Amino acid sequence: MGQGQADVALAALRESSRNGDWLCLKNLHLVTAWLPQLEKELNALQPKESFRLWLTSEVHPRFPLILLQSSLKITYESPPGLKKNLTRTYESWSPEQISKGGVLSRAQSLFCLAWFHAVCQERRNYIPQGWTKFYEFSLSDLRAAYEIIDRLFDGGKTFQWEFVHGLLESAIYGGRIDNPSDLRILRSYLEQFFSARLLSSSSSSAGTRRGGEKVFPAQISLPTSCSILVGVIHDYCLCISQGSTLIHQKVVLPTEGQGSPVQSFIVLEQFNAVRLVQSIHHSLAALSKVIRGTQLLTAEVQKLATALLNQECPQTWLNKWEGPEEPMQYLRAVVTRALAIQGWVERAGRQALLADTLDLSDLFHPDTFLNALRQETARSMNCSMDSLKFVTSWMRPIQEAKLQVKVGGLQLEGCSFDGTRLSENQHDSPSVSAVPPCYMAWCCPQQHPLPDLRSLESWYLFAGCANRRHSKLNE
């Protein structure tokens, strides 16, 4: 579009709509004042079903919103990273285009052009340090610059770099720049990448080797490979995929007052577990897409990658559940608990949860479970929660308890306990030892007098692998 093509475009639009053909109107950002007329024409058309209209445009603040909203939009963006950008440029060129004429300096100039184009686009990610504003450097600029280099090398004439500098600075890439500081940056890149000195130094050192690899010009160097991060992400994805049944599971936030307090806790714990697994899987998938170049890098993904490379658990994960600080241990703990909670939900559905031996390490929030048991006990005994006292027994079930649970998987650190006697550790004793299952309940002293606890010992226990939270338990 542009240069008096509006009438021709309208005539082609009417004809294509009558015949059911496809029509493409390019560079609509150049004729934004004419676009309202295009909208009216589109509203008045009665096209055939096979008619399709394609519109191309760069980002423009005056582009009509109604036209945008009525269209199916496809955004074509530059790939993230210099390597991905170079790869896409060379994929757009055929081998015949690169090796045309068999001139080595021509192929080297095309590589400098691809590198220059990638640098110009990548600097847009660092505004205002890279450029002062976002410039629409596109494939049309790359194609125009390719045509210039192709013509200058045609016929075996002496290549004049001043023509390349002038055209790219004043007409093609520089034609989009309106800031003197950005223009100076562009000029410095042109002088650095498009010079006979660079190509001659590249040709003279092409056959030399250093450490078994070809010496590359110092002016052009690629960033280090991200293969380490790829391997790390692969290991984490394999770990989280052990809960593959949870990744695609649909869960609904439970409503308040659904069932008993214990039942409500189990349903809410399952909901949070599934959401946590899905959230971690989503973040790892986003990072994987950035590595493959199919998604742009965001600040959140960058923080995630930095934490994983440093063998640290990302803060976004810890905000959802404060588990182990090492990422792999964190993922294993999440998957193990999320799968174990499914068993709790099944037993709760059969009304058999409190009759089985429970392992508090299966839960993300074991303290909340004990509080839910307290609330359910208060309801069943028709008393206040504050009047209930926490009671445990190692030898036998608690006769005075209305509701009680049998908890297994408990471990003791610093000493050993067989259910009746507490023993000190010896020099060859394990630092952590298992203890027998323990009965736990909430009792009301006013209704059921409790045994005298003044002469009994107190010690600290913690659930096996459940974030090592200590609970002070008295027999």
- pLDDT at residue 319 in the model: 92
Same domain, 193 and 288: no
Please determine, for residue 423, whether its predicted confidence score (pLDDT) is greater than 80: yes
Tell me 420's DSSP state: S
- pLDDT at residue 230 in the model: 60
pTM > 0.75: no
- pLDDT at residue 158 in the model: 67
Question: 83 near 292, Cβ under 8 Å?
Answer: no
- pLDDT at residue 108 in the model: 84
- Please say which residue of 69, 98, 120 terminates a domain: 69
Find the farthest-apart pair of alpha carbons in the chain and give their distance in angstroms, rounded. Answer: 107
Residue 366 located in a structural domain: no
Question: 307 near 315, Cβ under 8 Å?
Answer: yes
- Of 213, 319, 313, 233, the closest CA to residue 272 belongs to 319
Residue 304 located in a structural domain: yes
Same domain, 155 and 101: yes
- pLDDT at residue 467 in the model: 40
- pLDDT at residue 24 in the model: 92
Residue 386 located in a structural domain: yes
- Residue given tokens 């490979």 in the structure block: 225
- pLDDT at residue 317 in the model: 92
What is the 3 state secondary structure string of 259-326? CCHHHHHHHHHHHHHHHHHHHHHHHHHHHHHHHHCCCCCCHHHHHHHHHHHCCCCCHHHHHHCCCCCC
Question: 431 near 468, Cβ under 8 Å?
Answer: no
CATH code for the domain of 37: 3.40.50.300
438 forms beta bridges with: 407
Question: 74 near 65, Cβ under 8 Å?
Answer: no
Average pLDDT over residues 369-398: 89
Same domain, 103 and 166: yes
Q: What is the sign of the dihedral through the CA atoms of 309, 310, 312 and 317? A: negative
In whole numbers, what is the pLDDT of the chain averaged over residues?
A: 80
Q: H or E segment at 22?
A: strand 22-25
DSSP three-state, residue 156: helix
Here the tokens at position 159 are 């290549």
Is 120 exposed, middle or buried, given 0-12, 13-18 or 19+ CB atoms closer than 10 A? buried
- Of 304, 296, 310, 254, the closest CA to residue 279 belongs to 304
Tens of pLDDT, residue by residue over 313-358, are 999 999 999 989 888 899 999 999 999 998 898 888 888 888 888 9
Same domain, 90 and 48: no
Tens of pLDDT, residue by residue over 238-273, are 777 776 777 777 777 777 666 788 888 998 999 999
For residues 143 and 339, give the distance between their C-alpha atoms in angstroms, rounded to a whole number.
Answer: 55
Same domain, 38 and 149: no
Please determine, for residue 470, whether its predicted confidence score (pLDDT) is greater than 50: no
Same domain, 385 and 470: yes
Domain count, the chain: 4
Residue 21 located in a structural domain: yes
Same domain, 89 and 184: yes
Taking the CA atoms of residue 32, residue 36, residue 40 and residue 46 in that order, the dihedral angle to the nearest 10 degrees is 30
Residue 420 located in a structural domain: yes
Same domain, 162 and 279: no
- Owning domain of residue 277: 226-353
Please determine, for residue 22, whether its predicted confidence score (pLDDT) is greater than 90: yes
Same domain, 247 and 344: yes
Question: 283 near 316, Cβ under 8 Å?
Answer: yes
For residues 337 and 410, give the distance between their C-alpha atoms in angstroms, rounded to a whole number.
Answer: 16
141-155, 250-264, 292-306: range with lowest mean pLDDT:
250-264
Average pLDDT over residues 381-392: 88
Same domain, 55 and 118: no
Residue 248 located in a structural domain: yes
Residue 214 located in a structural domain: no
Average pLDDT over residues 152-170: 79
CATH code for the domain of 111: 1.10.8.720
Please determine, for residue 363, whether its predicted confidence score (pLDDT) is greater than 60: yes
Please determine, for residue 42, whether its predicted confidence score (pLDDT) is greater than 60: yes
Same domain, 388 and 442: yes
- Please say which residue of 308, 337, 353 terminates a domain: 353
Higher per-residue confidence, 456 vs 388: 388
Tens of pLDDT, residue by residue over 199-242, are 654 444 444 444 444 444 444 455 444 555 566 666 777 777 77
Residue 57 located in a structural domain: yes
- pLDDT at residue 458 in the model: 38
